[in-house]
Structure 1
Amino acid sequence: MESEEATMVFVYGTLKRGFPNHPLLAGAAASFAGNASTSAPASLVIGPYSVPFLLPSPRIASSGPGSHRVSGELYAVSPHALVDLDTLEGTHLGVYERRRITVLVEGGGGGREVEAEAYLANTSYAEALWLRCGGEAAEIGDYTMDHAARYVAPTHRASGLLHAIHIFIANPPTSPSP
């Protein structure tokens, strides 16, 4: 893959090495550029089907003591693989938006800042999703194998992800009966 054609992409969930959707990044379509994290605190929540959502709004991302830099990986992705990623992430359906963010790539005695593309929850539902998930209390810094163990692949879902998100947002969690 020629680097001038490549797009740097930050992944933070099911596309990481060892996670369910990583095969889309395998082979010549993408090359691993390093472990990375968001350069600023960001909100990462788990939505329906155990799908991770990095939220776009700075006013959603907390800046208090519980705020997190979200961990992930950085890849140089070919144009063909980028199309496949856009399809997986439903950018054409309004599920995610691919946006430029700044990430800190690990290495050496510190890290270096890199501009990269990342898939963020669509702004049309991001704040409602954050609130429905529990706001600041639900934010995590890393999508783990425990989260991925509950992940439901697109081929096994009862409905499309965007539909599931809207149902999830519309139905508040039930309180346990006394």
Structure 2
Amino acid sequence: MEEAAAATMVFVYGTLKRGFPNHPLLAASGSPFAGAASTAAPASLVVGPYSVPFLLPCRRPRSSSSAGHLISGELYAVSPRALVDLDALEGIHLGVYERRRVTVIVEGEEVEVEAEAYLAHKSYAEALWLHCGGEAAEIGEYTMDHAARYVPPSRRSPGASGLMHAIHVFLFGTSPSP
């Protein structure tokens, strides 16, 4: 029971959802499903390199008329140990994602819950949004069609920073300088 008391609510919106490629990590950690949920406020979600989904923390450029979408996902109660594993998967230490607080609404209960979510790092989020196509590329849900094109870390080009390297190449066309 002690671990349940220390659990962190985590909102997942992409490859960690049930039936998606990285869900086994959550399942193996014993993180209980707390319900389907969506963001309480509109947000931007795009699909980047390797068909990886990115929830974006930045506001859209002034030229954008998009208000974003309510992003669909799932809510889990995650133990401290499982949170460390999720942080590693999401590349927190490499600056790929940032774990930030979001407000979500649990479907069926219509109750607001404060949760952690993995958002694209603010250092490249706006450039990613623009490169993906801006508001025309925004989606409200990462689907099985997106996941069918997902490239797991084990099948990506080798390199010290994997996804971060791919993001840099995707955005700037070159490898980052050492």
Structure 2 counterpart of 1:125? 124
1:86–1:36 distance in 2 versus 1, CA, 3 Å: same
Q: How does 1:99-110 map to 2 (within 5 A)?
A: 99-108=100-109
1:58–1:4 distance in 2 versus 1, CA, 3 Å: farther
1:23–1:95 distance in 2 versus 1, CA, 3 Å: same
1:166–1:61 distance in 2 versus 1, CA, 3 Å: farther
Which segment is superposed worse, 21-30 or 128-137? 21-30
Find the residue that maps to 1:3 and give its secondary structure.
helix
Deviation at 1:158, TM superposition (A): 1.1
Mind listing any 5+ residue stretches in structure 2 that lack a counterpart?
174-178
Structure 2 counterpart of 1:168? 170
User: Structure 1 counterpart of 2:170, which letter?
Assistant: F
Deviation at 1:4, TM superposition (A): 1.4
User: Structure 2 counterpart of 1:168, which letter?
Assistant: F
Q: What whole-Å deviation, never above 9, does each CA across 1:114-167 have from its counterpart, x for those lacking one? A: 000000000000000000000000000000000000000001001410010011
Whole-angstrom CA distance in 1 between matches of 2:164 and 2:152: 14
Deviating runs (4+, > 4 A) in structure 1? 60-66
Find the residue that maps to 2:32 and give its secondary structure.
strand
Structure 1 counterpart of 2:176? none
User: Structure 2 counterpart of 1:72, which letter?
Assistant: G
Whole-angstrom CA distance in 1 between matches of 2:87 and 2:133: 28
Mind listing any 5+ residue stretches in structure 1 that lack a counterpart?
172-178
How many aligned residue pairs are there?
Answer: 169
User: Structure 1 counterpart of 2:11, which letter?
Assistant: F
Structure 1 counterpart of 2:85? 84
**Correspondence 1:138 to 2:102:** no
Structure 1 counterpart of 2:115? 116
User: Structure 2 counterpart of 1:19, which letter?
Assistant: F
Structure 1 counterpart of 2:18? 17
Quick one: percent identity of the two aligned structures? 75
Structure 2 counterpart of 1:45? 46
Whole-angstrom CA distance in 2 between matches of 1:38 and 1:155: 30
Length-normalised TM-score, structure 2: 0.89
User: Structure 2 counterpart of 1:115, which letter?
Assistant: E
Whole-angstrom CA distance in 2 between matches of 1:142 and 1:151: 15
